[in-house]
A and B are shown apart, each in its own frame.
Chain A
Amino acid sequence: MKNMIKVLKFEYLTCIKNKAFIITTSIFMALILLMTFLPGIISSMNSKDNNSIDELPVIAVSDKAYKGDAVVKKVLEKFYPRKEIKLVDEDVDTIKSKVDSFEYRFAVILDTPVTYTYVTKNNSLMNSDTSTLNLALTDLFRTVSFEQYGIPSDKAEQILNTSLSFQTITTGVDQTKNYWSTYILIMLLYMAIIMYGQMVSQSVVSEKNTRAMEMLITCAKPSHLMFGKVIGSGLAGLTQLVLITATTLASISTIGSQSIPKEILEFINFPLSTVLYALLFFILGYFIYSFLLGALSSLASRSEDLNTLTAPVMMLFVIAFFIVIMAVNSDSVNSTLMVVCSYIPFTAPIAMFARVSLADVSVIEISLSVVVQLISVYLLGMLAAAIYRIGVLMYGNPPKPSEIIKLLKARL
C-alpha cells in the first residue's frame, strides 16, 4: 500500500511536469480566455469605424410614402429614443454622400409604406438596424392604417403593443436549460476518458519499451505499479480538468458576463448537480477504461502495437458514445436501450450521465448504476493487475486473446 502511494505520487508528478501536459493545459486555458474575450475584442476592433458611426446623432428619413406626416417622426423617435430623426428632402445621391461623409448615422428612403431603402456606411453581420427598422416601419404602417379607419394613434398603439406574460412550471427536468450543457459535458466526458486512458496506455508501453519495467517489477508489486499509475494519471487528469473548469468559471463570471451575449451564457449554463454528476461519472469511466487500456498496453512491446491492442476497447467506447449522442438527439434518453446501457459498465458512465441530466431518474437507479460501475472498477482492476503481471515481462508479438486467458487460468 505504501509503495502504491509512492508510485502514485511519482506518476502524478511525472504527468504534471510533462511538457506536453503543461502545454496542452496552457493552450486550453488560453483558448478559453480568448473565447470569453473574443466578443469584446472584436467589437473593440470594429469600434474605430462602427462605434463612432453608431454615435452619430442624426438619422435621415426621406419620406415619399406618407407625405411628411408628423406621425413618421413620432413613431421612429419611439424606436430610436437617443437619435435625432431628421426628415429630409434630398435626392438619393446627396443622401449617399452625406452618409458616406458621416453626416448621418444612416438614412432611410421610404418609397411606399411597405418598401424602403436603407443607406449605411458599413454593413456587418451584427448590424441590427434593418430589423429595428422593420419593426418601426411596420408599427408606423399599422398606426397610420388604424388612423385611417378612425382609431386614434394612442388607442392603436395600445392594441398593437399588447404583450402576454407567462410562467412555466417544470415538474421533471427542464431540458431547455440542460440540453446544451449536457451535450457539451457528454463530449467532454468522452474526450477526457479517452485522453487520460491513452495517457496510461502510453506510459505503460514506454516503461516496457525502455525496460524501466525490469527494475520496477523487482521493486514493487505489479498490482501496486498498476493501481499507482492509473490513480496517479487520473489525479493528473483531474488537476487539468479542475484548472480548465476554474479558468472557464472565472473568466465567464468576470469578463465573460459582459462580453459574451446573454443568449450564449444561458446556453452554457451548467447546473451544479450536472457538473457533479459529470465528475462522478468521469472518475468511474476513467477507471473502467484505463484499467482495460493499461492491461492491454502491458501486452505490447512497442508503441506500434498499441493501436491494434487497444482498438477493441476504443471501438466499444465510440459505440457507447454514439448510442448516447443519438439518444440525446432523438430525445429518447429513457429508451430501453439507454436504460440497459446505463447498467453496462462500459456504456454506463456516459449513458447514465445523459439520463441523469436530461430525464427524471430515480435515486435507486442512479445508485444501482454507480454500484455496478464500482464493482466493475474493482474487478477490472484485479484483472488488469493480473494481465499486467504477465504482460510486462513478455516481449515479442502480443499474445492472442486465447493465450492470455490460458495464462490467466494458469495463474489462478
Chain B
Amino acid sequence: MELNIQNVCKSFRDKEVLRDVSLTAYSGSALGLLGRNGAGKTTTIRIIMGVFYPDSGDVLVDGKPLDRKKIRIGYMPEERGLYPKKIISEQLIYLAMLRGMTKPDAKTACDKWLERMGMSEYKNKKLETLSKGNQQKIQLAATLMCDPQIIILDEPFSGLDPVNAMLLKDVIREMISSGATVLFSSHQMNYIEEFCNNIAILNSGSVVLDGKINDIKRSYPRDRIEITSQQCAGISEFVLSRMSDMILSADIDTEQDDTVLIRLKNADFKGRLMTELSSGGFDIDCFKVCEPSLNDIFVEYTEAGI
C-alpha cells in the first residue's frame, strides 16, 4: 500500500499553513515527519485524518482517494486526548466502536492491547488515576486497537521512561513488520533515525527535504574524516605538514582526546590521506567519513524558516 499526499494546500483565514505539500509513505515502513513547531505537521496529519479538508490537492491510497471507511487509520495525537474521568476499558471500547468495530471485537481488542501494554490491572480504573507515562500507553492502545493499516504517531515517546520507550519501540517495530504504514512525527531525532527509512522535513508549510535518510546523508560532501588512534597528536601534525595543500584543518576532538577530525578541501583526497597515513606507520583504530547527523540536517533546513 502506498499513501500519497499530493500537492496539498491549506489556508486558515488569511494564513497559508500548507503550501503544495507532497509526501509518500509505503506499507511496511515508517515515514518521519519533521518540522519545527508550527511548520504544518499537525495540519497535514489532520488532513490525512479527514478532520480538515485541503483547499486543493488529494490524499491518495494506491492512486485512489483515501476511503476512511474502508482503510483503518490509528491516530495518536500529540495532545493526548481521552476522558480522564472515565473507566479505561469503557472509553477504549467506545472509541474502537466509533471506528466501526463490533462490541465483542472491541472488548477482545481492548483486553489484548491492555495486556500487550502491561496495563491489564488498570482496566477498570479511571484514566486520571494513572501516571503520565501509563496514560500514554493507554493512548497508544487506543490508537492501535482497531488494527490500523495506517498509523499516525505524533510525539509518541514524550514522557516515557526508558523501559516503556523500549516497549513502545517493540510495538511499533511489530506494526511496521506486519505491513502497516507508519507516519511518525517527533522532535527526538534518535527515534526517527531508529525507525524511519524515509523522512520529510516541513518548514513554514512546505516540504523542504524528503527522501531516504541514507541517501540524504550520502548527498552531503564526504569531506570530513574522523580518525581514532592513540597517536592523534602525531597524526594531526603529520597530515598538516605533509598534506597542507589538501587539508583545511586537522583538530583533535575536544571531547575525546583519541580522535582527530580532519576536513579535506575535497572529498576525493580521502584515498590520498589513507595512503599517507599508512606510509607514516601510525597505529589507527578507526578511519571513517563523518556523516551529518539528522539533527544537523534538520537544523540546517529549518533554521532560516518561520
Contacts and interface: CB of A to CB of B under 8 A. Distances in A.
Interface stretch (B77-85, B246-254, B294-302): B77-85
Given A210-B84, A393-B46, A215 B51 contact: no
A190 B284 CA distance: 88
Given A217-B51, A406-B13, A211 B98 contact: no
Contact of A211 (B73, B80, B94): B80
B46 A215 contact: no
Nearest to A393: B51
Contacts of B46: 393
B116 interface: no
Contacts of B13: 403, 406-407
B173 to A, nearest CB: 24
Contacts of B142: 215
Contacts of B97: 6
Interface in A175-219: 207, 210-219
A393 B98 CA distance: 19
A141 interface: no
Given A218-B51, A406-B13, A210 B98 contact: no
A7 interface: yes
A385 B196 CA distance: 38
Contact of B94 (A10, A210, A214, A217): A10
Interface in B10-47: 13, 46
Interface residues of A, number: 21
Contact of A214 (B81, B84, B86, B99): B81
B77 to A, nearest CB: 4
B49 interface: yes
A34 to B, nearest CB: 31
Contact of B98 (A6, A14, A403, A406): A6
A215 B84 contact: no
A291 B141 CA distance: 33
A350 B168 CA distance: 57
Nearest to B98: A219
A3 interface: yes
Interface in B142-175: 142
Given A217-B51, A406-B13, A211 B81 contact: yes
Contacts of B113: none
Main secondary structure of the interface of A (DSSP, over half): helix
B79 A214 contact: yes
Contacts of B83: 207, 210, 212
A10 B103 CA distance: 13
A35 B6 CA distance: 69
A214 B77 contact: yes
A407 to B, nearest CB: 8
A219 B95 contact: yes
B184 interface: no
A220 to B, nearest CB: 5
Interface in B78-126: 79-84, 86, 94-95, 97-99
Nearest to B68: A218
B98 A7 contact: yes
Contacts of B49: 217-218
Nearest to B50: A218
B97 to A, nearest CB: 5
Contacts of A14: 86
A207 B81 CA distance: 9
A407 B13 CA distance: 7
A325 to B, nearest CB: 38
Contact of A220 (B73, B75, B98): B98
A11 to B, nearest CB: 10
A215 B81 contact: yes
Given A6-B97, A393-B46, A216 B81 contact: yes
Interface string A159-178: 00000000000000000000
Contacts of B99: 219
* Residue in A6, A210, A220 with the greatest tally of chain B CB atoms within 10 Å: A210
A18 to B, nearest CB: 9
B229 to A, nearest CB: 53
A123 B235 CA distance: 117
A389 B131 CA distance: 31
Contact of B95 (A215, A403, A406): A215
A216 B80 contact: no
B86 A211 contact: no
Contacts of B79: 211, 214
B51 A216 contact: no
Given A210-B81, A212-B81, A218 B75 contact: yes
A212 B75 CA distance: 13
Contacts of B82: 210, 212, 215
A7 B97 CA distance: 10
B94 A218 contact: no
A403 B51 CA distance: 20
A151 B247 CA distance: 147
A204 to B, nearest CB: 13
A213 B97 CA distance: 16
Contacts of A207: 83
A327 B47 CA distance: 53
Interface string A390-410: 000100000000010011000
A271 B13 CA distance: 55
Nearest to B84: A210
Contacts of A218: 49-51, 73, 75, 77
B86 to A, nearest CB: 7
A216 B77 contact: no
**6 closest cross-chain pairs (CB), A and B:** A214-B81, A211-B81, A219-B98, A214-B77, A211-B79, A215-B81
16 contacts: A7-B98, A10-B94, A207-B83, A210-B81, A210-B83, A211-B77, A211-B80, A211-B81, A214-B77, A215-B77, A215-B81, A215-B82, A215-B95, A217-B49, A219-B98, A403-B13
Given A216-B95, A218-B51, 20 more contacts: A6-B97, A6-B98, A7-B98, A14-B86, A207-B83, A210-B81, A210-B84, A211-B79, A211-B80, A212-B81, A212-B83, A213-B81, A214-B77, A215-B75, A216-B98, A217-B49, A218-B49, A218-B75, A393-B46, A403-B13
Interface of A: 3, 6-7, 10, 14, 207, 210-220, 393, 403, 406-407
